[in-house]
Amino acid sequence: MKNRTITVFAPATVANVACGFDSLGFALNEPGDVIKLTRRDEPGIRITRITGDNGRLPLETDKNTAGVSVKALLEHTGEPCGFDIEVHKQMPLGSGLGSSSASTVGAVFGANLLLDKPLTREQLLPFALLGEKVACGAAHADNVAPSLLGGFQLIRSYDPLDVIEVPHPEGLHCTVLHPHIEVMTEDSRKILRQSVRLKDAIVQWSNFAGLVTGLITGNYPLISRSLNDIIFEPVRSLLIPGYDNVKIAAMDAGALGCSISGSGPSIFALSTSMAGARNVGDAMLASLKKTGIEGDVYVSPINKTGPRIVEEG
């Protein structure tokens, strides 16, 4: 068999989604990572090139998210071939946008295609999670699942893994503001307490049930009222300078809701149209700049398909 090459794009994701901590995530049309894979006849996985990471990501296969997950996939299929993998980061690391998930999802998605699709997307999930575990020390399926499957994905259970698509209204759009500061997922975890007050948990899960109901039934006012996080946002937002004002700016500009993306520092807002989401982005960025911090704004509908082929051959 001749070498074959494929280039794929895998989307960034917003995890946690206010009241849906560790449980709900959704995919964006941009940003995302681009992964180029070349299938070789000889066995072995090599990470041949990484761009856009300022030299921070490991080239060793067993330490690289993409390398680990493709290696596991290859072992599973038993195919006697190998892969060269290029990882082109097109979004910031440690941004709260599921950067490592996008790389690992792109890698397993592309490798599966070059293996002539022995597995469905759903079946690829455990392999992508392996890569995420290497990168973060824990498998955060609320980033990996939406990056791989698109849409809103609910992680009902980790053990056994049970991932459910939550339908969402067509008009829903997302604005993401990435402030040019870095918050490591680990620090953002450390700041959280290991127990929560029962009364706060009740408020949180009532909002979560409201959010899911609003998404499925296309009830925007309900989505808006439910997009609250009374447990994590008050603590984690302390690590994001100007957060409160950015959120006020988003809401004043007409956002349905606004909260921290993943473990931050990116901030997401939901709107009912592309134009609305753009307005919200302008307002959020203007507010951030007042604190002397620059940022990038991404505006996109909810990504419905997950990764896609950029180039084949």
Q: Which residues make up the interface to a second copy (CB under 8 A)?
A: 19-24, 154-157, 162, 164, 166-167, 192-199, 201-213, 216-217, 222, 225-226
Phi-psi region of 97 (alpha: psi -120 to 50; beta: other; left: phi over 0): alpha
- What dihedral angle (degrees, nearest 10) is formed by the CA atoms of 63, 53, 73, 185? 70
Is residue 132 annotated as part of the catalytic site, yes or no? Answer: yes
Catalytic residue, chosen from 7, 175, 185, 272, is 185
* DSSP code string of 229-267: -SSSHHHHGGGSTTHHHHHHHHHHTT-SEEEE-TTSS-E
Query: CA–CA separation, 67 vs 64, rounded Å?
Result: 5
CB of 220 to a second copy, least distance (A): 13
CB of 59 to a second copy, least distance (A): 35
Give 202 or 309: the residue with its C-beta nearer to a second copy: 202
Q: ∠ CA 71-73-78 to the nearest 5 degrees?
A: 95
Closest by CA position to 201, among listed 223, 158, 230: 230
Q: Is the previous residue joined to 265 through a cis bond, with omega within 30 degrees of 0?
A: yes
Give 21 or 243: the residue with its C-beta nearer to a second copy: 21
Give 158 or 182: the residue with its C-beta nearer to a second copy: 158
Amino acid at 149: L
Confirm if 181 and 265 have CB atoms less than 8 A apart.
Answer: yes
CB of 133 to a second copy, least distance (A): 17
Give 46 or 225: the residue with its C-beta nearer to a second copy: 225
Catalytic residue, chosen from 38, 132, 175, 233, is 132
Give 120 or 194: the residue with its C-beta nearer to a second copy: 194
Give 51 or 157: the residue with its C-beta nearer to a second copy: 157
- By CB neighbour count within 10 A (0-12 exposed, 13-18 middle, 19+ buried), where does 258 fall? buried
Is residue 104 annotated as part of the catalytic site, yes or no? Answer: no
Per the structure block, which two tokens stand in for 267? 């901030």
CA 265 remoteness from chain centre: 13
CB of 207 to a second copy, least distance (A): 6
CB of 2 to a second copy, least distance (A): 44
Query: CA–CA separation, 75 vs 73, rounded Å?
Result: 5
CB of 227 to a second copy, least distance (A): 11
Query: CA–CA separation, 275 vs 280, rounded Å?
Result: 9
Tokens 């499925």: give the residue.
216
User: Which positions are catalytic?
Assistant: 132, 185
